[in-house]
A and B are shown apart, each in its own frame.
Chain A
Amino acid sequence: MSSSTAPDVKAGRLKVSQLEANFADLHPPLTDHEALVESDRCYFCYDAPCMNACPTTIDIPLFIREIQAGHPESAAKTIFNQNILGGMCARVCPTETLCEEACVREHAEGKPVKIGLLQRYATDQAMEKKHPFTRAASSGKKVAVVGAGPAGLACAHRLAMHGHDVEIFEARKKSGGLNEFGIAAYKSVDDFAQKEVDFILSLGGIKITHGKELGKGLTLAKLEKDYDAVFLGLGLSGVNALGVKHEEAKGVKDAVAYIADLRQAKDLSKLKVGRSVVVIGGGMTAIDIAVQSKLLGAEDVTILYRRGQDHMKASRFEQELAQTHGVNIRPWAMPKKLLTKDGKVVGLKVEETAMKGKTLEGTGVTFEVHADVIFKAIGQHFVDVTSGALVLHEGRIKVDEHKHTSRPKIWAGGDCTSGNQALTVAAVDDGRRAAEHMHVFLTGASHG
Chain B
Amino acid sequence: MADLRSNFVGIKSPNPFWLASAPPTDKEYNVVRAFKAGWGGVVWKTLGEEGPPIVNVNGPRYGAIHGADRRLLGLNNIELITDRPLEINLAEIKKVKREWPDRAMVVSLMVPCEEEPWKKILKRVEETEADGVELNFGCPHGMSERGMGAAVGQVPEYIEMVARWCKQHTRMPVIVKLTPNITDIRMPARAALKGGADAVSLINTISSIVSVDLDNMAPMPTIDGKGSHGGYCGPAVKPIALNMVAEIARDAQTKGLPISAIGGITTWRDAAEFMSMSAGTVQVCTAAMTYGFKIVEEMKSGLARWMDEKGYATIEDFRGRAVPNVTDWQYLNLNYIAKAKIDQDACIKCGRCYAACEDTSHQAIMKEKDGKRHFEVMDDECVACNLCVEVCPVENCITMERMETGTDPRTGKPISKDYANWTQHPNNPMSLKAAE
CB–CB B350/A104 < 8 A:
yes
Complex: A36 Cα to B69 Cα, angstroms: 7
A105–B349 Cα distance when bound, in Å, is 10
Chain B residues lying within 8 Å of A105, measured Cβ to Cβ, are 348
Binds B, one of A42-50, A129-137, A405-413, A425-433: A42-50
Given contacts A37-B68, A37-B69, contact A44 B352 (CB under 8 A): yes
B352 and A46 contact, CB distance less than 8 A: yes
Q: A108, B352: Cβ atoms under 8 Å?
A: no
CB distance from B54 to the nearest CB of A (A): 37
Instruction: Decide: B351 and A46 in contact? CB cutoff 8 A.
Output: yes
Q: A49-B373, A108-B394 are in contact. Are A43 and B69 (CB under 8 A)?
A: no
Distance in Å: Cβ of B228 to nearest Cβ of chain A: 25
A107 in contact (CB, < 8 A): yes
Q: Which residues from 77 to 108 on chain B have a C-beta closer than 8 Å to any C-beta of chain A?
A: none
Set A40, A44, A48, A108: member contacting B69, Cβ < 8 A: A40
Bound Cα distance from A49 to B351, whole angstroms:
10
Question: Of all chain A residues, which has the CB nearest B356?
Answer: A46
Q: Is the CB of A45 within 8 A of B68?
A: no
Q: Is B348 in contact with A104, judged by CB distance below 8 angstroms?
A: yes
Q: Which of A36, A41, A46 contacts B354 (CB 8 A)?
A: A46
Nearest CB of B to A270, in Å: 46
Query: How close is A306's CB to chain B, nearest CB, in angstroms?
Result: 35
Contact of B350 among A33, A36, A45 (CB under 8 A): A45
Residues of A within 8 A of B393 (CB): 43, 108
The residues of A that contact B354 with a CB separation of less than 8 Å are 46
B355 CB–A CB distance under 8 Å: yes
| Residues of chain A lying within 8 A (CB to CB) of residue B394 | 108
The chain B residue with its CB closest to the CB of A39 is B68
Chain B residues near A45: list those with CB within 8 A: 349-352
Please give the distance in Å from B392's CB to the nearest CB on chain A: 10
Cα(A46)–Cα(B358), bound, Å: 11
- Say yes or no for B367: interface residue by CB 8 A criterion: yes
Chain A interface, number of residues (Cβ within 8 angstroms)? 16
Closest A residue, CB atoms, query B365: A46
The answer to whether B355 and A46 have CB atoms under 8 Å apart is yes
B349 engages A49 (CB within 8 Å):
yes
Q: How many residues on B have C-beta within 8 angstroms of the other chain's C-beta atoms?
A: 14
Query: In the assembled complex, how far is the CB of residue A65 from the closest CB belonging to chain B, in whole angstroms?
Result: 13
Q: Which residues of B contact A48 (CB under 8 A)?
A: 351
Contact B367 A46 (CB under 8 A): yes
Q: Cβ of B348: which chain A residues have Cβ within 8 Å of it?
A: 104-105, 107-108
Please report the C-alpha to C-alpha distance between residue A104 and residue B394 in the assembled complex, in whole angstroms: 11
List the B residue with the shortest CB-CB distance to A34.
Answer: B69
Contacts of B367 in A (CB 8 A): 46-47
Residues of chain A within 8 A (CB-CB) of B68 are 36-37, 40-41
A48 to B354, CA, bound (A): 12
Give every chain B residue within 8 A of A104 (Cβ-Cβ): 348-350
- Within 354-397 of A, Cβ neighbours of B (below 8 Å) are at none
* Complex Cα gap A70–B351 (Å): 25
Output the least CB separation between B394 and chain A (Å).
Answer: 7
Cβ-closest chain B residue relative to A43: B350
Over the window 336-370 of chain B, the binary record of Cβ atoms lying under 8 Å from chain A Cβ atoms (1 yes, 0 no) is 00000000000011111011000000000001000
Binary interface profile of B, 385-421, with partner A (CB < 8 Å = 1, else 0)? 0000000011000000000000000000000000000
**B352 and A43 form a contact (CB under 8 A):** yes
CB of A68 to closest CB in B, whole Å: 9
Residue in B351, B354, B394 with the greatest tally of chain A CB atoms within 10 Å = B351
Contact partners of A47 in chain B: CB under 8 A: 351, 367, 373
Closest residue on chain A to residue B368 by CB atoms: A47
- Within the assembled complex, what's the spacing in Å between the Cα atoms of A114 and B367? 26
Q: Is the CB of B349 within 8 A of A107?
A: yes
Instruction: Give Cα A47 to B70, complex, Å.
Output: 29
Nearest-Cβ distance from residue A103 to partner chain B, whole angstroms: 9
A37 to B352, CA, bound (A): 20
CA distance A39 to B183 in the complex (A): 39
Task: Name which residue of chain A comes closest to B397, CB basis.
Answer: A108
What separation, in Å, do the CA atoms of A107 and B298 have in the docked complex?
33
A37 to B69, CA, bound (A): 5
A107 to B394: give the CA distance in the assembly, Å: 12
From residue 35 to 78 of chain A, which have CB atoms closer than 8 A to chain B? Answer: 36-37, 40-41, 43-49
Q: How far is the CA of A37 from the CA of B70 in the complex (A)?
A: 8
A-B contact pairs, 20 of them (CB 8 A): A33-B70, A36-B68, A37-B68, A37-B69, A40-B68, A40-B69, A41-B68, A43-B350, A45-B351, A45-B352, A46-B355, A46-B367, A48-B351, A49-B349, A49-B373, A104-B349, A107-B349, A108-B348, A108-B393, A108-B394
Nearest 3 Cβ contacts at the A-B interface: A46-B351, A40-B68, A108-B348
- Chain A residues with CB under 8 Å of chain B are 33, 36-37, 40-41, 43-49, 104-105, 107-108
Known pairs A47-B373, A48-B351, A104-B350. 4 more at Cβ < 8 A? A45-B352, A46-B350, A107-B348, A108-B348
